[in-house]
Chain A
């Protein structure tokens, strides 16, 4: 359970980190997934470039009608309200449910997205919020909708010479409602199923996302469209639409335990959203 030898380097600036990056190096933020994987020798790196101390990654700032949240912001910072939450408590709720406090003190939002575990909270939660990834390389900055950021199981659109510096999320209106339902057998473990729903008629947002169900979180198109219409949704109609979406996105047999679990979480999340309106 000891990592293979590597050299450690702490970057003093983002430019220094970008210059040091390469095929055989890994960027280290909180290390709450990366260090155990190194300890178990599931992943290897010649050089670990520590970017956790970069102040520019640990800030949040308004950008018009959106808010930038730095990749180095920890789950605990969000949980405690130490950074601005433009989502009417959604981000704070999600952050407080990640793993355990000792992990939340070190683990970061950007680290979670870049690690791209399909059962982690941020990839699903932020996809439902309509987040956008802010990516930097020596050549400049590019922005990608989160739907195009995660490509698959622990695979992202990041190139070895790029760093995810943060995300932008929309500032939600007073009319926004959200529901985040996840199923864990034990507090703090990776979820067996996650259903995230965010609806904001002012921001034209109606997103239903299923996580921990495949190689990456999936937006459920039919259910999202149904919620976008507004008004009360007939429970029977909702159930049918959820079944169709879950079947199409997961390919699971309707008789399986997993299918039942996922459809239950999505129906529950939609129902909780309806109760608030």
Chain B
């Protein structure tokens, strides 16, 4: 459980550089991706970011083999998502098409007001 053990400096250093090369390559892919294929840019960019994040978390943050902390990380991410669904769900249900909304332009409210009661908005 404890990671405060003696280390093999050369092996660990090598690992750091390998991860660095991986991250640099992925950063390069991030840059060229929109020129290779334009459709699905958002999905591709987020996919690359997730791989980079995985490398950082596992190797730079030493989470590899840390079961408890890893589970907690997943739990906190799930918690954020659940709160997001609840909060945004309430917002969508109550305010998105009302004048009180702060996330759609005022002009859009007016345009949408005439159809506010129609099910097409839900």
Q: Is B one of A's binding partners?
A: no
Interface, chain A (partner B; CB < 8 A): none
